[in-house]
Each structure stands twice: as C-alpha cells, then as structure tokens.
Structure 1
Amino acid sequence: MIQISGPATFWLTALLLLIIIFGRYVLFSLTFWWLFKVSMKTQFAHRAVQTRPRKPGQDWREIGWSLLTSLIFTAIAMGMILAYQAGYTKIYTNLRDYPLAWFPISIILVLFIHETYYYWLHRWMHRPAVYKWVHKTHHDSITTSPWTAFSFHPIESTLQAIIIPALTFVVPLHISAVGIILLIMTLSSAVNHLNTEIYPRNFDHHWLGRWLIGATHHSLHHTQFRFNYGLYFTFWDKWMKTESPDFHKLFGEKTKKMMNDE
C-alpha cells in the first residue's frame, strides 16, 4: 500500500485514487453502455427492462453526481490509508499472515455484511422523511443505465462508502481482497443498472442465479420503489418478503427465446 509521508504525497495519492475510482466507474459504465446499447443493440433490444425514454440530459447529470460520489469515496479511502499507516486497520499484505483459505472466506464474509448493511440502509432511505433528502437523487433515474451506478446524493454516497473501510478495522483483509471486493461492487452496480437483462433464460430459478441481482430485479426497484432493496444478492428480499411479485414473470418475458437471442 502507498506510504503517505507528507502533503505532496498526500495530494498525489488522493489524485491517483480519484482517477482510479472515477476511472473504474467510467470504464465499466462505458463498456456496458457501448456493448449492449450500441454494439449489440439489435440482439438485446427485446431485453430492455423499461422502455420509458430517459430524461433529456440524464446521462450527464448521472455522471456529475458520480464524480461527486467518487470524490467522497476518495476522501474516505484516504482516511483508510492513513489509518492503515497508523496501524489501526487489519489490512495485511503478506498472504502467509493468515491461512490461504481465509482469503476467499474474508471476501464472502465482507460481501455478506455489506449486503446486510445495504439492505437495511436502503429500506431506511425509503422512509418518507429520509427519502427526499438522501435517496431521491438516485431515483430520479427511473429508467436506469450503467451511468446510474454511482449517481447518489452526497449523504447517500457517504453512507454507502463507510461500510467497507469500517470493516477493515475488524476483519483481516489482504490488500488484494479489498481490491476484488471493490471490483465486484462496481461490476455489480453497472450490471444492475444496465436496464438490459443479460442473464440467460431461467437463470432466476438456477441454484446460483436465484440469489444474484440483475437488471430486471433492480429495475423493478426503480419503478416500484417498495420492492427489491438488495445490492448483490436476493436473500434478504426473499427472507423479508420484499422481492417484487412481478420479478419472475418479467424476467421470463425479457429472456424468452427470440430470433436473435442466443
């Protein structure tokens, strides 16, 4: 991990992190947007979950909010780096410090805790007194796109950003495990907001697919508001009976065999 030894190193590190965080968002969002909205538009046209046109200028508004989100993520990441240097976190760099089996277990554990935190945070953000101040910015994108992935109000961005750094104080994580978790987070968010169902037919009933959130599942949250609060996985929605009753029917409609559907 980068060692910060003075103001110059601090600001250079912050700039580098901002480029990585915002650049990762742009790379994933642009790739998915181009792949499914431009390159393979004809093949995937029938898989568009919502057909309502996006608002004029919505892409640029989402990119603007996402840049602000990236700045907040950068500030919190800088705090985590300083805490690591001071010896407060449990981040480690030598794989031999813990049994190798702990590496995948730690990733799964953090994803489970993150999912749990986000599900209940998300439900709280939908309380009427909270929603208009914290979560409405994200829901201005009723018809989503990959650019929606990081489009949050600064309060929501902060609430979303603190959980993984906080976990580094209590859960031993290899530095590469942290990177993998952040990569999964960005990839999942881009897929979920794609508004194009990329999973195969009947994947919603597959032993793995039934637990993963995709574009259909999350798009229903943006249109129905009171269902499908999960981040990566569906298990809290299933356990708390907040999964949309329309999900399986809509997923089947969007993934049914058509001439250009492979």
Structure 2
Amino acid sequence: MIQLTNPATFWLTGLFFFLAIFGRYVLFSLAFWWLFNVSMKEQFASRAVQTRPRKNGQDRREIGWSLLTSLIFTAIGLSVMLAYQAGYTQIYTRLTDYPLIWYPASIILTLFLHETYYYWLHRWMHRPGVYRWVHKTHHDSITTSPWTAFSFHPLESTLQAIVIPALLFVFPLHVSAVGIILMIMTVSSAINHLNTEIYPRDFDQHWLGRWLIGATHHSLHHAQFRFNYGLYFTFWDKWMRTESPDFHRLFGEKTKPKLTSEQEMVHQES
C-alpha cells in the first residue's frame, strides 16, 4: 500500500487521482457524444429531448467547471486515503473479511443512501436563497450534453462529493465496490445529461426501467426546474410526487419508431 506521508508520493498520488477522475469524465463524455452524435446520429436523430441550441462556448465552460470539480473530488479522495491509512475508515481489501452476500448488498445500500441524500440535497439547492449561490452554475446548461455531467459550482461539487466518503466511515465497503459505485455514478450522469434518449420504447413502463433515470427524465428537470430531482432512480420522485407530469408522454414521443420514407409519404397524403 502506498504511504502518503512522503510529500513526493502524496503529490504523485494526487496527480494520479486527478487524472483518473477527470480522465474518466472526459472518456465517458467523449464516448457518449461520439456514439450518439456521430456514429449513431441517424438512428437517434429523432430522440433529442430538447431542440434548443446550446450556447456559444457552453462546452468550454462546462469542461472548465468539471476540471474544478475533479480537483475537489481529488482532494476528498486523498483525504479518504489518508483516513484509511490511519485506520479510520471501514474500507476492506480482502473479500473473505465479510460474507460474499455483503458485497452486492453494500453496493445497493450505498446507492440507495446516495440517492436519498442527493434527492433531498437537490430539493434544498432549489430553494430561492440557496439556488443562485450553489446550483445555478449547473442549471446554466438548459440544454445538456455529456459535458454537463460534472459542471458544478465548487460548493455543489463539495456537497455532492462528501456523502460516499462519509459512508466509508459508517459501514464496510470493499475497495473494488467503491470503484464500481464511482463508475456507476459517472456512466449514469453521462446518460442522464446526454439530451438524447437511448433507452428503448416503453422502457419507462418496464419493471426495471420505470425506476431508472435517463436523458428524458433529467432533461425535463433542466427545462422545468421543479420536477425530477433524482440522481440514479425515480423512486423518491414517485413517492414525493415530484415527477414531471410530462415525462411519460415525452418519453413515448422520443422513442416512437422512426417512419421510413414511404411511411412518411403515406402519412402526409392521409
């Protein structure tokens, strides 16, 4: 295990953490942007949730905020590693230290607690006296893209980043489980901000899909502000009746089968 007491090791580890965090953001953002805006543009052209053009320089601004967010995540990650080496956290490295069933259960529990924390934090950030100081930076991106995923004011970045590290002091998590949770967080955020619905038709009614947030669901939050506060899942929005009444209709519109040229001609003639 790397010891961070040596200053050179500390800064090298910090650089590695930053490259991993920011690099992961860039990699997934580029991958989703290329996949659904270049490679599969024709198939998904009708699935854009909002047609409003993005502002000039929006990509650049979002990447800048995301760079700052990555630095904050790096600082918190280094703090957790220092706490782990001092024996304060519940992180474990041997799978046999706990029953194997605890491994998936700990991931599910962490995601549920993270979802709960974020939902209520998100609603608080929309309070008039809080919004302009904490959350407005993220909402400057009315029409989102994968680059929006980490575009937060530093105060919001910090508030978002502290929950999972805090849980590492409360109950045990295998080090690889932490990695899986962070990967889910990155992929989910990229999908939710994609502004192109990638889930199949009727997925919003599927036994699994009805609980997952996607581009249509989260884009409505950016457009309407007072609905759809969830992070990964829709259950808090459903329980608290804060899911947009336009969601299912818009999801159906964006995922309806694309008409062929002949079908369009018949439709126009009728």
TM-score, normalization by structure 1: 0.98
Partner of 2:174: 174
Partner of 2:151: 151
Partner of 2:99: 99
- Structure 1 gaps of 5+ residues are none
Partner of 1:79: 79
Partner of 1:66: 66
Residue 2 (1) aligns with residue 10 (2): no
SS in structure 2 at match of 1:51: coil
Partner of 1:201: 201
CA deviation vs aligned residue, 1:26-63 (integer Å, no higher than 9, x gap) = 00000000110111111111000000000000001000
Deviation at 1:15, TM superposition (A): 0.3
Greater C-alpha radius of gyration: 2
Deviation at 1:99, TM superposition (A): 0.3
Report matched runs for 1:4-43 at 5 Å: 4-43=4-43
SS in structure 2 at match of 1:5: coil
Partner of 2:230: 230
TM-score, normalization by structure 2: 0.95
Residue 109 (1) aligns with residue 109 (2): yes
RMSD (Å), alpha carbons = 0.8
CA deviation vs aligned residue, 1:8-31 (integer Å, no higher than 9, x gap) = 100000000000000000000000
Partner of 1:247: 247
User: Which aligned segments of 4 or more residues in structure 1 are displaced greater than 2 angstroms?
Assistant: none
Letter in 2 for 1:203: F
How far apart, in 1, do the equivalents of 2:238 and 2:61 lie?
A: 33
How far apart, in 2, do the equivalents of 1:192 and 1:102 lie?
A: 29
Deviation at 1:2, TM superposition (A): 3.5
Deviation at 1:228, TM superposition (A): 0.1
- Structure 2 gaps of 5+ residues are 261-270
How far apart, in 1, do the equivalents of 2:60 and 2:41 lie?
A: 21
Deviation at 1:190, TM superposition (A): 0.1
SS in structure 2 at match of 1:241: coil
